Structure 1
């Protein structure tokens, strides 16, 4: 059995969906030389294999007032703080992403807030778990 779960056609379908998840099966089929029905079957199989985990959209947070974009490295004060911190981060609406990391720090998170005051309030809450280092977004390159 091949170590890869998908073939070149599946990979091309996946790339097309990554570029634009609103493409119809028929439109994808025209690109990969399959019927829309065959494309649908391949997409279902990739979902069953958990290669495709879901669909998302690209959005502009500035258009809805989320003007502060911060990258925060978190340094927890104790080992006992991990689970409470994870629960805090998972449930806080300002936290867009959270990763446990190696190297400097314990966690890395992406945070979006409406303004500097909201970011400061978030950071005040964060102090209950440990220290942090903040880097602010100055403009996206890619």
Structure 2
């Protein structure tokens, strides 16, 4: 875990709200000069605190109207079979997130497609073709209440 000071936390807060902010704009918001802000951002990138910058696309405006969560239970829990499953899922563009979970299921997939017909095709042709799936359980999103990628920053005092 990285120890963030107040300035680092503010930089991360601003960049989570708008990753297109230029260093000069960040410096103005923080009442600092360009160079220390530039160096802090580069350090946060180098240390992996900032992993990447992305554009968040409105899925419905690009025709992806169905979001589903699919629980997956594997038949076999060997390292080889688990790695094979993960490699296959990572290659599927419909799967936008994949989590290894505890409980009755082994994985939770977030799947975004155009409609129910495309989801059925995905389930039957792609997931259904994987040899190690024991069972699946699908949940369909009827409405989004909150969808945020912003993390609250904890400032560590020295």
Distance 2:22 2:2 in 1: 26
Partner of 1:112: 112
TM-score when normalising by structure 1: 0.91
| Structural RMSD (CA) | 1.5
Partner of 2:28: 30
1:75-132 Cα distance to aligned partner (Å, 9 max, x none): 1122244222211110011010011011120001100111211101111132332311
1:14-43 Cα distance to aligned partner (Å, 9 max, x none): 110011101111111111111123211110
Q: Which has the higher contact order (CA 8 A, sep 6+)?
A: 2
Q: Which runs of 5+ in 2 are unaligned?
A: 147-158
Distance 1:93 1:12 in 2: 34
1:4 to partner: Cα distance: 4.5
Partner of 1:90: 90
Q: Which runs of 5+ in 1 are unaligned?
A: none
Query: How many residues were matched structurally?
Result: 140
1:45-103 Cα distance to aligned partner (Å, 9 max, x none): 11111111111122111111111110111111222442222111100110100110111
Distance 2:127 2:25 in 1: 47
Distance 1:63 1:84 in 2: 34
- Tell me the secondary structure at the aligned position of residue 111 of structure 2: strand
Partner of 2:54: 56
TM-score when normalising by structure 2: 0.82
- Tell me the secondary structure at the aligned position of residue 71 of structure 1: strand
Q: Which runs of 4+ in 1 moved over 6 A?
A: none
Single out whichever of 76-85 and 64-73 deviates more from structure 2: 76-85
Distance 2:101 2:83 in 1: 15
Q: Out of 135, 139, 142, which is 2:139 matched to?
A: 135
